[in-house]
Chain A
Amino acid sequence: MGYTLPMLFQNRPRAEIRVIDPIRSRVPPAHSVIEEQFWATYLQVRPRALKGLVRQQPVGHYRIDFAIPRRRIGIELDGFASHSSTEDIASDRYRQRRLEEAGWYIIRFSGLEVHRNVEACIREAAHLVSIARWRR
């Protein structure tokens, strides 16, 4: 086998220089249990109004759990674990306002609601998306 030295180094993975974005890295890893549940049920139900739904849509510094990027509509599932402390509440509200400023409409469900009845949540989201009008 005629390997030359440059050929051997060709496919070697380069050392990655990672800049850790403090805001982005604070976002908890995706796919919590409720999100998995929601996504699985969405794949079963697939309501027409939620066509084009994607997971983990990045918007600026933030990441939205589920989103229809074309219409700038997001769906957020708020678990109790990461939305109940004082700082969480304040940063949530701040985030919400920044997203609304950017023209996004966010539909929010709590972990409890998703846990109790995922399908109802999906139907309600579909209903809200279908009646949503352009804001701002």
Chain B
Amino acid sequence: MGLMEEEWWQDAILLRDIFDPEGDPSNYTGLTYAASYEDETRIRQIDASLLLLNSPRVQNIIDMEIEYHDRKLEESRQRRERYRAMIDSLTPIELKFWEAAKSLRLPELAGMVPQYKVLDYRLDFAIPSLEFGIELDGHATHSSTKAIAHDRYRQRRLDEAGWYIIRFGGSEVHHNAEGCVREVARVVREKRR
């Protein structure tokens, strides 16, 4: 096979690939098959779209799209990780309260965030827009003399700053987390009124 014939055969294989992948390339050599008008237009269309796809402007757009989706994915991954870390950082009673609040899905607690920082103090849960704090006092960290003194001091500082704090004992949350959540919702409703 000469050089010209070689190229011719390669073209036939190419055409075969496009129109009939299982077929015989000799059907496309032009000896037995003349490309129809439809085939020609189709080839032209494919060429044009390939040209368009390879053009730097389209490539640029595609790159931007890919970048955007990557960024979105990364953000959602980070958000998921942060949520996981937050859940891990909660104490058992806080976790119980959080899960009860999530499962009840009360509209009053819409803006509730865990571990909110006010005046260098960390509130267990808070609704910042209402300046409303929720504290769950476990026995472990609220029973020593110093802890009691610090608690009272902290409470007065928050009062002074205009925050309203509702407090629950650890055993209350442990035995009836849903009741506590409902009570918070009721107080929020009353405060809004």
Residues on A lying within 8 angstroms of B by beta carbon are 78, 80, 83-87, 89-94, 96-97, 100-101, 107-113, 124, 127-128, 131-132, 135-136
A110, B169: Cα distance in complex, Å: 17
Whole-angstrom distance from the CB of A76 to the nearest CB of chain B?
9
Q: A84-B148, A112-B146 are in contact. Are A89 and B137 (CB under 8 A)?
A: yes
Residues of A close to B139: CB separation below 8 A: 85-86, 89
Within 8 A of A (CB), among B146-179: 146, 148-149, 151-153, 155-156, 159-160, 164, 166-172
The total of chain B residues at the interface (CB under 8 A) is 28
A84, B149: Cα distance in complex, Å: 11
Residues on B lying within 8 angstroms of A by beta carbon are 137, 139, 142-146, 148-149, 151-153, 155-156, 159-160, 164, 166-172, 183, 187, 190-191
Whole-angstrom distance from the CB of A127 to the nearest CB of chain B?
8
B152 touches which of A87, A91, A93, A113 (Cβ 8 Å): A113
A112, B142: Cα distance in complex, Å: 14
Residues of B close to A85: CB separation below 8 A: 139, 143
B156 touches which of A94, A100, A112, A124 (Cβ 8 Å): A124
Q: A78-B148, A84-B148, A86-B139 are in contact. Are A93 and B160 (CB under 8 A)?
A: no
